[in-house]
Chain A
Amino acid sequence: MIEARGLSKRYGDKLAVDDLSFTVRPGRVTGFLGPNGAGKTTTMRMILGLDRPTAGSVTVNGQPFAGLYSPMREVGALLDAKAVHGGRSAYNHLRCLAETNGIPRRRVGEVIGIVGLEDVAGKRSKGFSLGMSQRLGIAAALLGDPDVLMFDEPVNGLDPEGIRWIRLLMRSLAAEGRTVFVSSHLMSEMENTADHLIVIGRGKLIADCPIAEFTGDGTAQAATVKTPDDQRLAAVVTGAGGRLERGEAGELTARGLTAEQVGQLALDHGILLHYLAPVRVSLEEAFMELTADSVEYQAKTGVQK
């Protein structure tokens, strides 16, 4: 359990985190979303006591991080996968960390097994790919078998197989009753991983809700259709209060009606349909809509006239 109350952080005249209050609960994966520069990493650093909040407070398992007796046994975190001495082997890197928290050495071998680095554990981490470094960072987070886990952009640099692996890992960690807090700017990734979302933009809380609520009702008032008889379908759809639009790629979208209604209409009027699917508001679109005016470094799209 992570609890932030009125958390703020100011760098000079720039407010990086602005009065954030949220609770990350155990037993589920909580996604922490926001565009680049929204304050995600700063917030995570404050949770770990690496940055002092300008105002407000944050506790982990009811205590500020600095007050924890054996921090690695309570909180595991991956902030920067490359923060490793390149000349030290993966095994020895983990051993150093384990010794500071009195974690038995056998646990080092266990976590290496969990992340699948057995073959390179004795090699110097200088030659590791980003994906291997991420796995090493995750191994370090799991070292103390903690109840709270935090990952900052864990899928960066991973191949599809690695992404799938980390998704399953996070889900299983949450299923064991742990608190899993994962930041990302990739909405599509969260869609498949998180149960709950905390969205921030320019340091402010934008949304704190279950993922289903964020994407809206999956039954949006739109459906994609394919039919050889689009003239008649257009007439029928218009007659039922909707409208049929042709998109840029030539696909047809019935707006103002659900997929069920369109299917029923087609059946009633004997119109052949080759394809019918509800248009789901993707997490990506919902996110873009929400954070449109809170993106810090926005690229101008299109040519200015």
Chain B
Amino acid sequence: MTTAGMTVRTRAVPATAKRPGLPGTLRSELTKIISVRSTYWTLLAFVAASIAWAILDCAGTKKKKSRTE
């Protein structure tokens, strides 16, 4: 293969002889997770659900206690 006679273009992003490998992939996955709204909605729903569960649990315990008295 020859590129003779063709002017060499200055590259905005130089070619590398090294793979970006696992760190690059992990950084990309992290960006994917934090860059969509659904991540935050899911977290919020999780927090709300655990508080709701705690309230229900407490209410149940209180009822049980008052019955044994």
On A, residues with C-beta under 8 Å from B are 1, 26-27, 61-62, 69-70, 73-74, 85, 87-89, 92, 95-97, 99-104, 107, 110, 143-145, 176-178
The residue from B6, B18, B20, B35 contacting A177, defined by CB atoms under 8 A apart: B6
A97, A104, A144: residue with the most chain B Cβ atoms closer than 10 Å: A144
Q: Which residue of A lies closest to B6 (CB)?
A: A177
Check: B15 CB closer than 8 A to any chain A CB.
yes
Q: Which residue of B lies closest to A102 (CB)?
A: B20
B33 CB to nearest chain A CB (Å): 10
How far is it, in angstroms, between the C-alpha of A92 and the C-alpha of B9 when the chains are bound?
Answer: 28
Q: SS class of chain A's interface: helix, strand, loop or mixed?
A: loop
Check: B7 CB closer than 8 A to any chain A CB.
yes
Q: Which residue of B lies closest to A144 (CB)?
A: B13
B8, B9, B20, B25: residue with the most chain A Cβ atoms closer than 10 Å: B20
Check: B17 CB closer than 8 A to any chain A CB.
yes
Q: SS class of chain B's interface: helix, strand, loop or mixed?
A: loop
Is A145 touching B13 in the complex (CB atoms < 8 A)? yes
Mark each residue of chain B from 37 to 53: 1 if its CB lies under 8 Å from any CB of chain A, else 0. 11000000000000000
**A-B Cβ contacts below 8 A, count:** 69
How far is it, in angstroms, between the C-alpha of A26 and the C-alpha of B7 when the chains are bound?
Answer: 12
Is A145 touching B31 in the complex (CB atoms < 8 A)? no
A1 proximity list for chain B (CB < 8 A):
1
How far is it, in angstroms, between the C-alpha of A265 and the C-alpha of B47 when the chains are bound?
Answer: 91
Is A70 touching B15 in the complex (CB atoms < 8 A)? yes
- Decide: A96 near B7, CB < 8 A? Known: A69-B17, A70-B19, A87-B36: no
Given A73-B15, A88-B36, A104-B13, 14 other A-B contacts at CB below 8 A?
A70-B16, A70-B19, A88-B35, A96-B28, A96-B31, A99-B27, A99-B28, A100-B24, A100-B28, A101-B20, A101-B24, A102-B20, A107-B12, A177-B3
Q: Which residue of B lies closest to A106 (CB)?
A: B12
B12 proximity list for chain A (CB < 8 A):
107, 110, 145
B26 CB to nearest chain A CB (Å): 9
The residue from B3, B15, B32 contacting A26, defined by CB atoms under 8 A apart: B3
B3, B7, B13, B25: residue with the most chain A Cβ atoms closer than 10 Å: B13
A103 proximity list for chain B (CB < 8 A):
13
A26, A110, A145: residue with the most chain B Cβ atoms closer than 10 Å: A145
Check: B11 CB closer than 8 A to any chain A CB.
yes
A69 proximity list for chain B (CB < 8 A):
16-19
